[in-house]
Amino acid sequence: MSKVTTGPNECLRGKVAVVTGAARGIGRATAVAFAREGADIVGLDICKPVDPRSGVKPSIPEDLEETGRLVRAIGRRWLGIKVDQRDMAALRAAAAQTEREFGGIDILFANAGIQSFHPLLEMEDADWHITIDVNLTGTANALRAFAPYIVKRGGGRIIMTSSTQGQHGTKYGAAYSAAKSGIIGLMKSAALELGPNKITVNALIPGLIDTPLTRHEERYAQVLQDGGRTPEGSSADEEAARKILTSKTPLGVPWIEPEDVAPVVVFLASDAARMVSGATYDVTGGDSAHNTA
């Protein structure tokens, strides 16, 4: 559970921030971090299964409610909305509701996404479309739905969650890598278009984060197979995967805590980052050193 404290600078005082994928993980940690810095929060999440073939446990309404409880405990306003970001009409309705209830929108953290693994030659059509539609089209939908209100506000910040897997290929994760790479292109294009409106647009590049997206049997098996080992289908797989990931990460951590990612998003949402746009910001425990400059 996130620790409730007051932010040292309140650098987002008076701001209204929209966070997608707010029910848990990076979304929850960032919503709480935004609140600590003085922002009121609108948290969006689908809170139900999306991909029937994914090994990831889906978020549930109680997860989103817990994020709201944490935000309110800090003394900030909260609005939780259950929505599928593939539904453009629903997103536009959420944006209009946010303006009615909060007076405007200053920050969008387009963070929601899913992940599943399927070999290319065994991939079903739905596997590709669900991943692309949620991660890439859904992020673009969030941008298109909420950015007009940021323009109306006279400027603001947009941060999108990509992935280190959007900077390189991923075995059995072609759809995910393609979607997350596409988000980088989307971000850079939006930065060019929205800059004249005093809106900065950047992308967060997380490594392996300690969330349900990376902590499940399917993911452990992939790590073991890439390391030349055979998964046992038992609890031993998690510990073996932990050792492999720890040995590969320069800072010696298998998974990064969401709370270690949130401060970077806070920075990008603040006035301190007013001259930062069209950029990618990595939080990977040092794994970024393996990428080309």
Is 176 one of the annotated active-site residues of the chain? Answer: yes
**CB–CB of 147/199 below 8 Å?**
yes
- In whole angstroms, what is the distance from residue 58 CA to residue 54 CA? 9
Structure tokens at 90: 């629903």
Q: Which of 149, 172, 176, 220 is catalytic?
A: 176
Cα–Cα dist 152/246, whole Å: 46
Q: Other CB atoms closer than 10 Å to residue 3's CB: what's the count?
A: 8
* CA 106/CA 62 separation, integer angstroms: 27
Spatial contact of 209 and 111, defined as CB atoms under 8 Å apart: no
Find the helix or strand (DSSP H, E) in which 41 lies: strand 40-45
Separation between Cα atoms, residue 237 and residue 193, nearest integer Å: 46
Q: Is 76:38 a contact under the CB 8 Å cutoff?
A: yes
> What angle (nearest 5°) sits at the alpha carbon of residue 194, between those of residues 191 and 200?
55
Beta carbons of 135 and 116 less than 8 angstroms apart: no
Other Cβ atoms less than 10 A from the Cβ of 129: the count is 12
Where is 177: in which H helix or E strand? Answer: helix 174-194
Token pair for 281: 């910001």
Q: Which residues partner with 79 through β-bridges?
A: 42
The values of phi and psi at residue 127, to 5°, are -60, -45
Q: Which residues are catalytic?
A: 176
